[in-house]
Amino acid sequence: MLIKWDTTSKYVVIFGAFLIFTLFSCARKVTFLTSPVVPAARGFVKVKKDNNKNYLIKIDLSNLAEVSRLQPAKNAYVIWLETDDHIAKNIGQIKSSGSLLSNKLRASFETVSSSKPSKIYITAEDNAESQYPGTQLVISTDNF
């Protein structure tokens, strides 16, 4: 059976497909602000709510200097999630050696959180398991 499509039907199908695609790809992409510590660093965060009401967080960074080259030198880049209640949670670490940070100074990070982020930022720390962010803020997003 051959279906004959008129112009209006084609537009309705295209609009419907676009609407469905838009609804199911609602990841929010937020760019990091310019870093006062590593001005060449660039990156973005994508946050998407999954079917279990958790938040999938993906971070991509480039031109992030090795943490040992900072002044003062530190041991780890720690990623923090800030909630609407201004509570900071350590959600992981970016290692500045090995395969995570290549010769082109690129890094990526992915995690899932049950807390909705209002802001994501990275600090340089002596200890990657810190429970509270230190004072050396490297790069941050604005509030979502």
What domains can you pick out in the chain, each with its CATH number?
27-140 (2.60.40)
Average pLDDT, integer, range 11-16: 69
Residue 57, both tokens: 């967080």
User: 144, 134, 142, 143: which is closest to 79 by C-alpha?
Assistant: 134
Q: How confident is the model at residue 109 (pLDDT cuts 50, 70, 90)?
A: very high
pLDDT in tens, 46-90: 999 999 999 999 999 999 998 989 999 999 999 999 999 999 999
What percent of the chain is modeled with pLDDT above 90? 62
Please state whether 105 falls in left (phi above 0), alpha (psi between -120 and 50) or beta.
Answer: left
Residue 98 has pLDDT above 50, yes or no: no
Could you report the per-residue pLDDT of 125-141, keeping only the tens digit for each? 999 999 999 999 999 99
Confidence (pLDDT) at 88? 96
Q: Which of 109, 104, 91, 134 is nearest to 46 (CA)?
A: 109
